[in-house]
Amino acid sequence: MIFLLLLSVFLRGASSSILSEDTPISFSFPSFAKDSCDNKTLICYGAIESSGALSITPGPPPNLPIRKVGRVLYGKPLSLQRSFIDTTITIKISRHQNYTDRAGDGMTFIFASDKNGPSAKGVGEYLGLQSSPGDKFPPLAVELDTCLNKNLNDPDDNHIGIDINGIESNPVNSLLDVDLKSGRAIQVRIYYNPDFGQLSVYAAYSGETLVKVVEKPINLSDIIPTPVYVGFTAATGDFLESHEVINWTFNSFPVPPSLKEKNLVMPI
Q: Is 149 in the site for Ca ion (CB under 5 A)?
A: yes
Site string for Ca ion, 2-31 (x = CB under 5 A): ------------------------------
Q: Which is nearer to Ca ion, 115 or 121 (CB)?
A: 121
Among 147, 167, 186, 228, which residue sits at the site for Ca ion (rule: CB under 5 A)?
Answer: 147
Using alpha carbons, select from 150, 53, 165, 152 the residue that is nearest to residue 112: 165
Query: What burial class does residue 17 get, using C-beta atoms within 10 Å of its C-beta: 0-12 exposed, 13-18 middle, 19+ buried?
Result: exposed
Q: Which segment (27-35, 114-122, 146-154, 239-247) binds Ca ion by CB under 5 A? A: 146-154
Q: Which segment (11-19, 140-148, 218-226, 237-245) binds Ca ion by CB under 5 A? A: 140-148
Query: What burial class does residue 40 get, using C-beta atoms within 10 Å of its C-beta: 0-12 exposed, 13-18 middle, 19+ buried?
Result: exposed
Residue 120 phi/psi, 5° resolution? -65, -20
Q: Is 108 in the site for Ca ion (CB under 5 A)?
A: no
Q: Is 93 in the site for Ca ion (CB under 5 A)?
A: no
Residue 225 phi/psi, 5° resolution? -85, 175
Q: Which is nearer to Ca ion, 42 or 93 (CB)?
A: 93
Q: Which is nearer to Ca ion, 191 or 239 (CB)?
A: 239
Among 125, 163, 241, 244, which residue sits at the site for Ca ion (rule: CB under 5 A)?
Answer: 125
Question: Which residue has its beta carbon closest to Ca ion?
Answer: 149
Q: Could you list the beta-strand ranges (E) of the chain.
A: 25-29, 42-45, 47-48, 54-55, 69-74, 83-95, 106-112, 140-145, 159-163, 172-174, 186-193, 198-205, 211-217, 229-235, 241-254
Residues present in the chain in total: 268
- Answer whether 155's CB lies under 8 Å from 169's CB: no
Give me the least distance between CB of 84 and Ca ion, in Å please. Answer: 30
Q: Which is nearer to Ca ion, 75 or 118 (CB)?
A: 118
Ranges within 153-212 binding Ca ion (CB under 5 A): 154
Q: Is 241 in the site for Ca ion (CB under 5 A)?
A: no
Q: Which is nearer to Ca ion, 71 or 181 (CB)?
A: 181
Q: Which is nearer to Ca ion, 149 or 236 (CB)?
A: 149
How close are the terminal C-alpha atoms of the chain, in Å? 15
The single-letter DSSP state of residue 256 is P
Q: Could you list the beta-strand ranges (E) of 106-210.
A: 106-112, 140-145, 159-163, 172-174, 186-193, 198-205
Q: Which segment (143-151, 177-185, 187-195, 233-241) binds Ca ion by CB under 5 A? A: 143-151
Task: Name the residues that contact Ca ion, by CB under 5 A.
Answer: 125, 145, 147, 149, 154
